[in-house]
Amino acid sequence: MESRENFGSKIGAILAAAGSAVGLGNVWRFPIETGQNGGAAFIIIYMLCILVLGLPIMISEFLIGRHTHSNTAGAYRILANGGKWKWIGRLGVFTGWFILCYYGVVGGWTMHYTYLSATNAFSEVPAQEFGNIFESFAGNPWMPTLWLIIFFGATHIVITRGVQSGIEKFSKIMMPTLFIITIMLTVCSLMLPGATQGIEFLLRPDWSKVTSSTILQAMGQAFFSLSLGMGCLCTYASYFERTTPLAKTAINVSLIDTLIAIMAGFIIFPSVFNIGMDPNEVGAGASLTFISLPNVFQQSFGDGSILAVIFSTMFYFLLFVAALTSAISLHEVATAYITEEFNMDRKKGALLITLSITTLGILCSLSFGPLADIKVLDRNIFSMFDDFSGMVLLPLSGMLISIFAGWVLDRQLYREEITNSGEIKAPYFKLLIFSLRYVAPIAIGLVFLDQMGAFNFVK
Ligand code: PHE
């Protein structure tokens, strides 16, 4: 096989992995979950989940990727020595590919909303109209499809340029851009009258709101937000240099991810309070992002004003960048798999993946319009992709990864890798293994069972 590329620098590796982690989840799920689940109390629980669950699994994915220098399916195949564990890698590749199909639809929406914001299309729109604007856009058979194709086209271009001149270079430009925009938006938002209420809503610890389902939610969010369980980090780590410190890189990625998520809250809630809106009614996910927020930004910064245009455009552009770098990482999982396992040229492999995700992505997109009546388990095609991956595939693969890393992977190999053959100290080694063996599988198992209930298979 031709020699594999590596990331050219440690910072490039961190930014690429952070690009995967920082995505839509940071902006449209984390802030709402925090607000509704006891503010700082939720943030503390979330960080604990990252510490006990997220970091050990992230480090293991890094380790498996870097040790084998192979795509995710290849990595587990090599380590499983012909055994059944090789299926974990394939499951990861499938999960990533599957997620990408619907993730791209939302990526396309963020582009359309950047465009609408920049052209001042939200000026003087009555508050109740924003729902219709979104629904008629998402339900239109053409526009979302066009944006989806552009979004996947952009992803495709970065991927075909390769690891160093594509993914790494792009992350080195886009991640600092994302960070700067986040800071600017946060500062603007915090200067609004009413900002203190927003800060309080996010940060006041209210332990009375914490229930067992809060903890499950925090675990699920930590997992999704860190891009665990779908081969992204394993694939990226296969491009790490031998000298890249695994634990330190994982800590950096988690910190960046958490910081951006918290800042997203500071962007959203001050303006929500500023216009006297009830934060519990802004919704979450798509309805928050594409229905509540365009209105909130217009009202907060002056309807149709230049400030509203700038703020809103930067916000949707931020979402677009976050979604794009995550989509790139998902695409790379599948591209690395298909090119390496089937000995295919990278350009050809990437094209096959792009064509497949675009086809399925269009089906997901059309499920808001012409295909709305096609339902599986009570869900349209888009929700089916979203829920099946989030509730079933991700926890399943996370649980299997932790069991594999804790019970199957050779302990000596683990120690060698984590210490970079004795170069770095790893006093946390025993704790890490303990979490992988017991804490993580049990915790993720609980999330899994909980979500299976929500999935209503036996309806
Ligand atoms: N971590 C990304 C987010 O927070 C989502 C994602 C999931 C990205 C899976 C890649 C893979 O939105």
CA of 225 to the centre of ligand 1 (A): 5
Q: Which residues pair with 21 in a beta bridge?
A: none
Give yes or no for a contact between 231 and 155, defined as CB atoms under 8 angstroms apart: no
CA of 133 to the centre of ligand 1 (A): 27
Cα-atom radius of gyration of the chain, to the nearest Å? 21
The string of DSSP letters for 260-272 reads HHHHHHHHHHHHH
By three-state DSSP, how is residue 439 classified?
A: helix
The residues, any chain, with a CB within 8 Å of residue 366's CB and separated by 6 or more, are 141, 145, 381
Give yes or no for a contact between 367 and 381, defined as CB atoms under 8 angstroms apart: yes
Report the pLDDT value the prediction gives residue 2, as an integer from 0 to 100.
Answer: 52
CA of 289 to the centre of ligand 1 (A): 17
Task: Give Dmax over CA atoms of the chain in angstroms.
Answer: 65
Which residues form the pocket of ligand 1, taking CB atoms under 6 Å from any ligand atom? Answer: 20-21, 23-26, 99, 224-225, 227, 230, 232, 326, 329-330
Report the pLDDT value the prediction gives residue 456, as an integer from 0 to 100.
Answer: 63
The residues, any chain, with a CB within 8 Å of residue 186's CB and separated by 6 or more, are 263, 266, 267
The residues, any chain, with a CB within 8 Å of residue 11's CB and separated by 6 or more, are 172
- The per-residue pLDDT string of the chain (459 residues; one tens digit each, 9 = 90 and over) reads 457 899 999 999 999 999 999 999 999 899 989 988 999 999 999 999 999 999 999 999 999 999 999 999 999 999 999 899 999 999 999 999 999 999 999 999 999 999 999 999 999 999 999 999 999 999 999 999 999 999 999 999 999 999 999 999 999 999 999 999 999 999 999 999 989 999 999 999 999 999 888 888 898 899 999 999 999 999 999 999 999 999 999 999 999 999 999 999 999 999 999 999 988 888 888 889 999 999 999 999 999 999 999 999 999 999 999 999 999 999 999 999 999 999 999 999 999 999 999 999 999 999 999 999 999 989 999 999 998 988 889 889 999 999 999 999 999 999 999 999 999 999 999 999 999 999 999 999 888 888 777 766 544
- Tokens at residue 258, please? 């958490």
- Which residue's alpha carbon is at the smallest distance from atom 6 of ligand 1? 227
Report the pLDDT value the prediction gives residue 439, as an integer from 0 to 100.
Answer: 96
